[in-house]
């Protein structure tokens, strides 16, 4: 489903601050695989996720998703690709504090042109899946860290993406909520989602339904 070929990412190219964030990455990820991308902070995990989601463009190399080259798409087409195919769970949640849970979850659906009835139906479905329905009308600023994470997951699922990318998803959670997140991952895998998790949390070493652990260090796959 995802093919990465000879991928390089260089920041501040041809300046004194030139930095190679990713170096000659080659990787294949199959449909419905759950992949752990493991490495310390600054190893290149987040950069790789940003490239797969077309938030960044590589300096060289290719990313092919469902036989479509996405690494050189113009920004307008990149946005459309993300809206239809990618669900992103960020470390810091990236929710709007003054909006309710339901309003935050509905945001990715608005650019897709759905009518309000369809949006409301989908929001209810993903809130139930993420076990956050009971907080639907509550503002984000009043939620606990675990509740914010469940809202972020529901938002990532709103557009029914093929691929779910998680960047240090348990970094701001205690052990109990981290285990609840891992339980939800199993449900998403059962829904045939392809999931890539960038983390250095040792809890993921114990997850039996992980298909592959990929180690990254200094921008290179080990």
- Over the stretch 95-120, which tens digit does the pLDDT of each residue have? 999 999 999 999 999 888 889 999 99
168: domain CATH number is 3.40.50.300
In a domain, 7, yes or no: no
184: which 2 tokens?
């939800």
Summary mean pLDDT of the chain: 93
Number of domains observed in the structure of the chain: 1
Q: Please compute the mean of the pLDDT values over residues 216-222 and round it to a whole number.
A: 95
Strands across the sheet containing 163-167: 86-89, 163-167, 194-199, 34-38, 212-217, 220-221
Give the contacts of 205 (CB within 8 A, at least 6 positions apart): none
Domain membership flag for residue 174 = yes
In a domain, 24, yes or no: no
| Per-residue pLDDT tens digits for 168-199 | 999 888 899 899 999 999 999 999 999 999 99
- Residue 81: inside a domain, yes or no? yes
- What is the predicted pLDDT for the residue at 126? 95
In a domain, 27, yes or no: no
Residue 69 lies in a domain: no
Distance, in Å, from the CA atom of 161 to the CA atom of 171, rounded to the nearest integer, reads 23
Quote the domain boundaries for residue 143.
33-58+74-221
| Separation between Cα atoms, residue 167 and residue 200, nearest integer Å | 10
The answer to whether residue 5 sits within a structural domain is no
The verdict on residue 16 lying in a domain is: no
Residue 83: predicted pLDDT: 87
What percent of the chain is modeled with pLDDT above 70?
Answer: 100
The reply to whether the predicted model has a pTM over 0.85 is yes
Q: Residue 92: which pLDDT band, with cuts at 50, 70 and 90?
A: confident
């Amino acid at each position: 489903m995802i093919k990465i070929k000879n991928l390089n990412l260089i920041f501040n190219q041809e300046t004194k601050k030139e930095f190679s964030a990713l170096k000659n990455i080659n990787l294949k990820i199959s449909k419905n695989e759950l992949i752990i991308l493991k490495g310390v902070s600054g190893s290149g995990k987040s950069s790789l996720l940003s490239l797969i989601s077309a938030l960044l463009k590589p300096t060289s190399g290719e990313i092919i998703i469902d036989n479509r080259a996405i690494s050189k798409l113009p920004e307008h087409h990149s946005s459309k690709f993300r809206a239809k195919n990618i669900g992103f769970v960020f470390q810091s949640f990236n929710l709007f504090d003054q909006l309710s849970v339901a309003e935050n979850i509905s945001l990715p659906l608005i650019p897709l042109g759905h009518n309000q009835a369809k949006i409301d139906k989908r929001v209810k479905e993903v809130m139930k899946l993420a076990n956050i329905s009971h907080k639907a009308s509550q503002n984000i600023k009043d939620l606990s860290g675990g509740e914010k994470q469940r809202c972020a997951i529901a938002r990532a699922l709103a557009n029914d993406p093929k691929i779910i990318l998680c960047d240090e998803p348990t970094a701001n959670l205690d052990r109990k909520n981290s285990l609840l997140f891992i339980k939800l991952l199993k449900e998403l895998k059962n829904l045939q989602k392809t999931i890539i998790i960038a983390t250095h949390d040792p809890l993921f070493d114990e997850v039996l339904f992980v298909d592959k652990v990929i180690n990254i260090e200094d921008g290179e796959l080990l």
